Structure 1
Amino acid sequence: MMRSSGVLMHISSLPSPYGIGTLGKEAEKFVDFLVKAEQSYWQVLPICPTSYGDSPYQSFSSFAGNPYFIDLEKLCKEKLLTRKECQSYEWGKDITRVDYGILYVNRYELLHKAFDRFQKNIPEDYEAFCQNQEDWLDDYALFMALKDAHEGAAWSEWEEDLRLRREEALQKAGEDLKEETEFWKVLQYLFYKQWNSLKTYANDKGIRIIGDVPIYVAMDSADVWANPSQFYLDENLVPIDVAGCPPDAFSDDGQLWGNPLFRWDVMEQDDYRWWKKRLDKMSKLFDVVRIDHFRGFESYYAIPFGHKTAKNGEWRKGPGIKLFRSIEKELGRLDIIAEDLGFLTEAVHEMLEESGYPGMKLIQFAFDSREDGDYLPHNYNNNSVVYAGTHDNDTILGWMKTAPRPCVAFAKDYLNLNKDEGYHWGVMRGVWSSVSDTAIVTMQDLLGIGSEGRMNTPSTLGCNWMWRMKPGAVDSKLVRRICKQVELYGRAPKQAGAAE
């Protein structure tokens, strides 16, 4: 694998006059910036619909696209909306933050107007799209229509016939909610049409998209509602144990994620059909798939349902390498990045090595006294992807201000950081100069933004996933500086081409 680099920037963080980043012209402009800056990758967070808490890692479906990302200006060009209609809604007062409360109310009201016009002139390829995606789309659309009919209540609170998916009840719901079900299908058609257009635009210019796939799915999702036998639920479809992480130096209580666990024994019996379907879809949606919490396939942490913290969980064995052997046998060799951060055992290291997938290195962890991992750059191997930080970390400048002084002093000494260069540029220099085949930095760090640019603080609600880049934040000076670094450390695409 040749040396390369890329930028982590979620779709939601792109500039837009309508409250959140979309798949429109600003996304294409970002691709153009990546090309000029001699990058090879654009990494995004999960692009699925967000649920309570606005996290892309807790979604109503692991197959659907987020309707918020549908570009309104493109809908105007297609005569599904007018610019006056788009501008008549409130989208938030701060262009650097997403206001999800306003979006939830106004975006869907506006998209219903687009849906009404869509119904009057249905495109020729719409029916083919629905047929091609029916293995998840029908369940998802009915699930969302039922959620609306139940005023947003989780499916576990619906009446028994619908919770248990009794055929007569599903048929009646499908008839009663036909128009609303169709609305959710149309939104997916519009999303996928725009996503495929953006991906083609990026690929044609030499930019590959890295997509993020959470290991777990949300309990309140079409995934669990439509496939309950695949998850660790009791006879009443209530979780028995749930996912999380044990207490560590970062958290005395651990992390209680609350996602339902997989019934790996059941999944093995049907040769991991659900996982194969999921990764097959994701490998078509993205060029490279980053699997979050990869270590959970070797052993996973199970917490009794109803507990308030993650203190009383236990480790259990997962499917291990046999899952990925089965996937590769059926789907071929997929481009996968294994997120192997956190508490790792020798068995996890062996599974990763046997898979051949590149693992992750996080340079910010290298200087954190609480972190036992081996993240100092002189210990890296080539088959890895190195990050300065991810969506779960503070920005570089934010970390420099808030980390313990001895940790910051160690980073300054090890990376030879100085104010003249800029501390964030010095840390990114450590990323680009490392031996890892691929180096990824966040857009926030390239712009030198402090803690206000942090995307997520784990185990907190109400203040995450909001950061947005200001219009015009990227200029030719920034592009030149990035080019100088990637050329200096042999990561420019033209250098890789010459080496080949």
Structure 2
Amino acid sequence: MKKRGSGILCHITSLPSPFGIGDFGAGAYEFADFLSEAKQSYWQILPLNPTNKRYFDSPFSSLSSCAGNTALISPQLLAAEGLLTQMEVEDHPHFPERRVDYPAVSRFKRQLFQRAHIRFQKGGVPEDYARFCRGNSMWLEDHALFTAISDHLGNLPLAEWPQELSNRSSEKVQLLREELWDEVEREKFLQYLFFKQWHLLKNYCNGKGIRIIGEFPMFMNYDAVDIWANPELFKVDEQKKPYLLAGSPADAFSAEGQLFNCAVYDWDGLRRNGFNWWIRRFHYLFRQYDFVRIDHFQGLTSCWEVPVGEQNGLRGNWQKVPTQEFFNTMLQHYPLFPVIAEDLGTIGADVRETMARYAIPGMKVILFGFQKEARERSYLPHLHPLNSVAYTGTHDTDTVTGWYQGAGDEERLELYRYLGRRVENGVNWELIRLALMSVAHTAVIQMQDVLGAGEESRMNRPGKAEGNWEWRIPTADLGEVASRLSEMTACYGRAQD
């Protein structure tokens, strides 16, 4: 990211499709074509790990460090492979067009996947499937078995599993592996499909000069397979129940701080393990993406640990992380280490020093330069460092239009002073222009801001558990906005060669 470029932030779930959720099918390829037409260099997405209805399908509540969200598998592509019939694909319920109905999508795709797996088994095991299983055996077997047992137990939280099942090496677990053989094999099959379809899409994007910026949650959900398989790496008790939760203190996003429903790492255990768990995690991340945004980068320098039982993130303590040893180890394995730090909110000097030492770019959210509760002059474009990424907003902020419609007179006047004129309509394009004008090497624009969408299209409202991660792009011709964005991108020297 050392040359000028720009991209769009839009999660896969937000793409158009007839199946209630964006996926790796035709809508994704059409979106890649839109990015190319608009002369964009990057497509940023949210984490692709599995989600769970218990945690409101947040992609930042990670149930596996390596597995993919199988809800993103395209039924259309399965039909093209002969694993589904066209009639089965077309016989789908009516889904909302503007939001994701996760439970309805899960019910529909589950029965499709069962049919696809039966046909797959009858056709014999192809070599690329066997190769996938061998190449991913370090995480795939545990993930598939954990998923099957969890379903068998009615999605009971890990901390409530019977002792004989919460112990990964118990005889009962091995017996259940045989009893649930078909369910285990189906999950392995779905992971194979997920990565096959994802890499086809990524290769298509790369062929058009579009690089993928992926993300991953800093912490693991306390129901994650990683805790079941590697409890010594997390602060959990003998029942795999965490006694401390990850969170963040009060900041501009939340006056009461945040609790992440995630266990915290035992960094002494990770160090004794040679940071192998993290080495493996980055191995898969760098295979999936061209660049990786590290959400809550603060967690790699110090962690806000909150005792279990607290109702918010206010009563916690900072725990130090062996930061330099960790990064030096990662650089031995990944010398380029193409990451972006999410350095928003309450950030200490240790974060700034780490980013400077390892030349890791941070984020500059232009909206923060004008929001009263978060106003910080360094977010304004003329003060952006070259080695940074300028954003109009993020999945955690309001859209530009939504912010402007709810902004007070003082905030609007601050924007007018910066622009040098009053603006009544099209404020989204004014902030897009500021992002593209920025001296930062990279600029990223929320898709909602490209469309001028309002507050109702926010992806996430921090501190509010329900009703998030549902926004979808309205079905519309994007040619006009592609043309406008293309012209502006070229004007500010960010267009693809």
TM-score when normalising by structure 2:
0.96
Alpha-carbon separation, structure 2, partners of 1:193 and 1:249: 40
Question: Does 2:443 align with 1:439?
Answer: yes
Shift of 1:320: 1.7
Which amino acid in structure 1 is aligned with residue 118 of structure 2? D
**Structure-2 change in CA distance of 1:91 and 1:169 (3 Å):** farther
> What residue number does 1:99 align with?
101
> What residue number does 2:29 align with?
28
Alpha-carbon displacement from aligned partner over 1:252-271 (angstroms, at most 9, x marks no partner)? 32111121000111111222
Which amino acid in structure 1 is aligned with residue 174 of structure 2? Q
Alpha-carbon separation, structure 2, partners of 1:153 and 1:46: 24
| 3-state SS of 1:125 partner | helix
| 3-state SS of 1:244 partner | strand
Alpha-carbon separation, structure 2, partners of 1:152 and 1:420: 50
> What residue number does 2:331 align with?
328
> What residue number does 1:9 align with?
10
Question: Does 2:120 align with 1:118?
Answer: yes
Shift of 1:304: 0.4
Question: Does 2:235 align with 1:241?
Answer: no
Shift of 1:164: 1.8
Picking from 295, 312, 315, the partner of 1:312 is 315
Alpha-carbon separation, structure 2, partners of 1:415 and 1:269: 54
> What residue number does 1:78 align with?
81
Question: Does 2:454 align with 1:453?
Answer: no
Alpha-carbon separation, structure 1, partners of 2:365 and 2:250: 20
**Structure-2 change in CA distance of 1:255 and 1:104 (3 Å):** same
Kept after mapping to 1: 8 A contact 2:61/2:260: no
> What residue number does 1:492 align with?
495
| Bigger mean CA offset, 391-400 vs 366-375 | 366-375
Alpha-carbon displacement from aligned partner over 1:138-157 (angstroms, at most 9, x marks no partner)? 01100110011001112221
Alpha-carbon separation, structure 1, partners of 2:298 and 2:160: 32
Shift of 1:419: 4.2
Question: Does 2:414 align with 1:410?
Answer: yes
Alpha-carbon separation, structure 2, partners of 1:212 and 1:249: 22
| 3-state SS of 1:212 partner | strand
Picking from 129, 132, 143, the partner of 1:129 is 132
Question: Does 2:388 align with 1:388?
Answer: no
> What residue number does 1:45 align with?
46
**Structure-2 change in CA distance of 1:82 and 1:300 (3 Å):** same
Paired-residue identity, %: 41
Kept after mapping to 1: 8 A contact 2:296/2:342: yes
Picking from 69, 72, 75, the partner of 2:72 is 69
| Bigger mean CA offset, 77-86 vs 110-119 | 77-86
| Bigger mean CA offset, 265-274 vs 366-375 | 366-375
Alpha-carbon separation, structure 1, partners of 2:438 and 2:460: 26
Alpha-carbon separation, structure 1, partners of 2:421 and 2:182: 59
Kept after mapping to 2: 8 A contact 1:91/1:103: no
| Bigger mean CA offset, 200-209 vs 372-381 | 372-381
TM-score when normalising by structure 1:
0.96
What stretches of structure 1 of length at least 5 have no aligned partner? 495-500
Kept after mapping to 1: 8 A contact 2:61/2:261: no
Shift of 1:330: 1.9
Shift of 1:421: 6.3
What stretches of structure 2 of length at least 5 have no aligned partner? none
**Structure-2 change in CA distance of 1:252 and 1:205 (3 Å):** closer
Alpha-carbon displacement from aligned partner over 1:18-55 (angstroms, at most 9, x marks no partner)? 11111112111111111111110000000111112110
| 3-state SS of 2:222 partner | coil
Which amino acid in structure 1 is aligned with residue 465 of structure 2? L
**Structure-2 change in CA distance of 1:132 and 1:21 (3 Å):** same
RMSD: 1.5
Alpha-carbon separation, structure 2, partners of 1:452 and 1:473: 21
Count of residues in correspondence between the two structures: 492
| 3-state SS of 1:289 partner | strand
Alpha-carbon separation, structure 2, partners of 1:35 and 1:88: 33
> What residue number does 2:380 align with?
376
